[in-house]
A and B are shown apart, each in its own frame.
Chain A
């Protein structure tokens, strides 16, 4: 009995040592590679963004892994408010922020490079105001701040349709900004996040698919699963877009917007079912086929809103959707995708702002 207890204690002690070593190693590793704090929370949500009364904002000089924000809490180089360049603001969510691209290869940086390419008169400055998780209807307070500080000539809206899954009331009508991002609380084990990423990148696809399906099943067990997003959600997106356009014009900004691009095009195929399962991991309440349907319907609404408001529209959906080589996952661009996006965006932005 005593020997058995000793053995159990030995196993528990060894397990604790192993876990502690993994956690300490993770923290030292992050500190060495990314200058991350050894103690305290360190995550994408908490190291880069903070909740304010006006909604979610980037933390000035925030850093997390490869992502780094400037002194104003935006991705990209520091901006001199008194600078004389013509400014363009890109408003959107994670696709616009740039998750997979290299620091100087996200949509904003490549668009700026295009706008300032040889032969163009004057100089443009493109501000990446993409905040992962931000709904287009919640961007109004941000837009006011940007106008006040930088006096941009134009704004570009890139709405994310999946943000309206399960949403029936437009964000624009809400009194406080409402974001889906959770703030990390309590002790977080950094090692677990690393182990999760390692699992995702090393296990064979069938195993990953199975793991994802189990997770989706558990997440959606207690709530009804939708085949497609109801019309109210699409209408909420349309309303929010109208609202954002109206506010931008009230602030004196030229407006450009785009339909939403995705890796799959507008037709469901079993070939990319695995990728859709990956997308569904973020929204377990919608079946895989529902994402394609949502994209198609949302893009139609975006086109209608642009027509109705005489806004310059870039049809990213028609131009890029289904070109798998441009996407790092379901809807986020890789360096090449951001380059293709920027090549479409820059010519549409140029007439919107006469260089100072």
Chain B
């Protein structure tokens, strides 16, 4: 059941009506059941790994808590933590990476000239497994670290993991944030309803009008055998807008739906294409994942506490694994390595950049900011080429084509990409300048424009000719 499906248009109002007519404890049970129904609508078999890992995590966290309360040795707690980690990572490895490693092994074996048959398993990837395993892991790790008390209620914990708005594509909620909201009775404020509806409309606009309209252009460029430099430029630009519209659109809808039930999800996107450097980008793009990787991988690896070299190593490991998290394919590893590389390069160049910023006259600083934003956007776009490509050969041929970016520039396609992206750019510029992400709250915006803006967005979302596409991040 996609957010942009007829089924969801019936499902959501029904859930909201029932939800708001129940007592708090019943609300939680109802939301768990509704979430299971939502998830099972893809494939009922997906329910089993989800319930299995969630049940294990619940008991592991309870055991860790009991161990702390009884004052047992840390080794006892670590045992339960390991069970939780092995269960979650094991499921993820089996469902998501098993065939990837078998396939890679097959290539290596073939390259070595050996004739060893490597089996390929027929595994269906449960939707959203990367999201819910990370979410559940954060819970047991936080309980282990003593940052969070294990919840007693099985239903409450289930709801925190299974809650349908974030279940299949995030944002990856921290247990410490969500469980507190699950346990406490929720009151929906007027402001939450306003912001929730705003996010839903804006999210649908980004998904349907921007992402789905650009999908055919992206598909045509990335399926061409030898696209020209101009076509690659347009295709990559279209994909940059598509993936942002798609993923941030999903996140906005998820956050909006959650608000209508009194939940507050963490911010997942904060104008990422306005980032001025790689580090800034990762504080704006998929924030829930990048902060998860920071807290549960980068810092435990040592973070930036050691030498410069160990910091670079930790950055690269984190980004490569972050790339691999997105999908079981080498291009995602390459994408992660690329971002690791530019993060390291930025750290190396930081003193020079700081110096440059100091010597630039105040009047030229806005232009300097634009240059930095544009440079970072170009780097991000090249990263998207690595992300979207389906083979190393394609990466190589497209990279080569990019050396002549003006060759064969398809002006009609470019104008369509720019026309579709224009509303997004305008709104983001307003958000950037005002610092207000709920852009209809911007003070200088005349009140009478609000019905016009919302109606235009609803029109574009409803009557866009784009054929509905699944959300890109569902595959992860």
Contacts and interface: CB of A to CB of B under 8 A. Distances in A.
Interface in B432-469: 448, 451-452, 455-456, 459-460, 462-463, 465
| Interface residues of A, dominant DSSP | helix
B6 interface: yes
Contacts of A18: 451, 455
A231 interface: no
Interface string A13-35: 11001100110011001000100
A17 B462 contact: no
A211 to B, nearest CB: 16
A198 interface: yes
B456 A194 contact: no
A22 B452 contact: no
Contacts of B9: 202
A22 to B, nearest CB: 6
A26 B459 contact: yes
A17 B452 contact: yes
Contacts of B456: 21, 25
Contacts of A21: 451-452, 455-456, 459
The SS class assigned to the B binding surface is helix
B459 A22 contact: yes
B465 A14 contact: no
Looking at B9, B451, B462, B465, the one whose CB has the most chain A CB atoms below 10 A away is: B451
Given A21-B459, A25-B459, A33 B465 contact: yes
A96 to B, nearest CB: 27
B8 to A, nearest CB: 12
B451 A14 contact: yes
A25 B6 contact: no
Given A22-B459, A26-B459, A194-B463, A17 B448 contact: yes
Contacts of B455: 17-18, 21-22, 25
A174 B438 CA distance: 66
B13 to A, nearest CB: 13
Interface string B1-39: 000001001100000000000000000000000000000
A26 B463 CA distance: 9
Interface in B253-307: none
Nearest to B459: A25
Contacts of A17: 448, 451-452, 455
B451 A198 contact: no
Interface of B: 6, 9-10, 448, 451-452, 455-456, 459-460, 462-463, 465
26 contacts: A13-B448, A14-B451, A17-B448, A17-B452, A17-B455, A18-B451, A18-B455, A21-B452, A21-B455, A21-B456, A21-B459, A22-B455, A22-B459, A25-B455, A25-B459, A25-B460, A25-B463, A26-B459, A29-B459, A29-B463, A33-B465, A198-B462, A198-B463, A202-B9, A204-B6, A204-B10
- Which 10 residue pairs spanning A and B have beta carbons closest together? A21-B455, A25-B459, A17-B451, A18-B455, A21-B452, A14-B451, A18-B451, A202-B6, A25-B456, A21-B456
Given A29-B459, A198-B463, A204-B10, 12 more contacts: A17-B452, A21-B455, A22-B459, A25-B455, A25-B456, A25-B459, A25-B463, A26-B463, A33-B465, A194-B463, A198-B462, A204-B6
